[in-house]
Structures are given as C-alpha cells and as structure tokens.
Amino acid sequence: MSEEGKSNVRAVERALDLLLCFTIRSEWAMGELAEQTGLHKSTVHRMLATLEDKGFVSRDRLTERYRLGLRVWELSANMPQTDDPGIISLPEMERLRDTLGETVSLYIRDGGERIRIQAVQSNQAVRRVAPVGARLPLYVGASSKVLIAFESPGKREELLRESTWPESIDRNQFRRMMSEIRASGYATSFEEREAGAAAVAAPVYNRAGILIAALSVSGPSNRLTMDAMGEYVPAIMEAARRIGALLR
C-alpha cells in the first residue's frame, strides 16, 4: 500500500475511534475526545469538522460539546436489529437522561404486565433505580396507563377486564382516565406504586403507527413534581417520536 493509502486508512481509523467514544457516553468536549483517543487536538478538530459536515456528529453552539448526529440514526434504521426497540432506543434515551437528569425507561406490554426492556439510570446521587427485566402490574404507573390508553379500542377493553386487577380499582373511572390520557398524549403517576417516586410517560409508535412501547422518565417525587413533569413532556414526546421513527 502506498504512503497516501496508509494515510487515508489512518484517517478513517481515527474518525471511527472518535465515533466509538459515543458508545461510552453521549456528549463530549473536543479536549475530552482528544484525551480519550490519544489524538492531537488539531487532528480531533479536523476530524470533528468533517464528521459534523457529513452529519455524523452535531455541535452545541452554546456549550461547544459534541453529540451523535442524525446521520447515525439514518444508518441504524437499516440495521437488522432495528426490530429490537431496546437496542434502538438506547442513544435517544441517553440523550433524554442527559437533558432532564432523571432515569429513563422503556416498557413493553406482555399480557397483563409490563416489562422494562431498557433503562438509563440518572447520574444524580438521589435517583430512581430502574432494573432492566423487571415485571410490573399493568393497572398502576404512568407507563402502564400509556400501554393501555393507546391500545386499540378492542384490546384496551380486553385489558380493562383483566381479572387479576385489584377489586378496589373502579373500571369506569379507569376508562375515563384513559380517555383523558389519550387526549393529552401522555400519562403521569405520583407515588402510585411506590412512595416517594413519580413518573411521566409517552407512547412510542413504530413507522406503521403501531403502539410498540412506553417511554418513561422517573425520579424522586420531591424533584419530579407535577409541575416539573409537565415541563418535561415535550422533550419526552419528542424522544418517543424519534425512537419510533427508527422502528419498523
């Protein structure tokens, strides 16, 4: 191989090394990337400028920090594992966690229960820990409400007649709540399943418009107040839309 060819290969390797840094965390300063990769800052600057120009990274003009760009999501949409929402959702969930500072979870429905198939934990000292694989009842919690409210009418009614629900639940009142959730586009819970915990969730639809999952942000109720959850809704719904756009 010629010296020019070797130089081109090294340039590609360096660019890939920079992109692979985003598998560790979702946001980097240029100096941090230089330290992480062992490359000179001038080299990192040139590489990032090219990657940004091609859409593979984006730069926050206020903080001068870099994130993965939309071109990465376009590539991932054609990967075979795009049918797995847990894999596809992770970068967007990390972005949402970094934006809001709280734990982000993704739930799917399995019969009369919901399962947490992906979670990104908050970096705050006091946080809501969400173990992946946990099974939770479908009659309580923000994500449960979303997974019922946005189902088809027939399936929704079938779930509302689930015999395992506690007798204390008023089904007609629950139906009215489902209508309100569909009208607002999201659901909240405040110390419903666990004292001191709160959550807000939005539906995730795939490209065909089919409900796939519920995207949830949860945290301590003294921090995740009803007002705070209301402020977080636009970011959560946008993240849910972005995730859904990648699912077939």
75/46: higher pLDDT: 46
CA distances, 99 to each of 88, 108, 119, 175, 208 (Å): 18, 23, 15, 33, 28
Examine the pLDDT at 1 and tell me if it is beyond 80: no
pLDDT per position as a tens digit, 90-146: 999 999 999 999 999 999 999 889 999 999 998 887 666 667 888 899 999 999 999
In this predicted structure, the answer to whether residue 81 has a pLDDT above a threshold of 90 is no
Model confidence pLDDT, tens digit, residues 157-214: 999 888 788 888 999 999 999 999 999 999 999 999 888 999 999 999 998 999 999 9
* Model-wide pTM > 0.75: no
pLDDT of residue 246: 86
Both structure tokens of 147? 């997974």
pLDDT digits (tens, 9 = 90+) for 27-41: 999 999 999 999 999
**Could you give the CA distance from residue 99 to residue 123 in angstroms, rounded to a whole number?**
11
Share of the chain above pLDDT 90, in %: 67
Quick one: how far is CA 22 from the chain centroid? 16
* pLDDT score recorded for residue 23: 76
Amino acid occupying residue 215: L
What is the radius of gyration, based on Cα positions, of the chain?
21
Please give the pLDDT value at position 4.
59
For the chain, what is the mean pLDDT? 89
Cα–Cα dist 47/33, whole Å: 11
Q: Give the torsion through C-alpha atoms of 140, 187, 151, 99, to 10 deg.
A: -110
Between strands 28-29 and 57-59, the pairing is unpaired
The pLDDT-based confidence of 2 (bands split at 50, 70, 90) is: low
> Around 175, how many Cα atoms within 13 Å sit in the side-chain half-sphere?
12
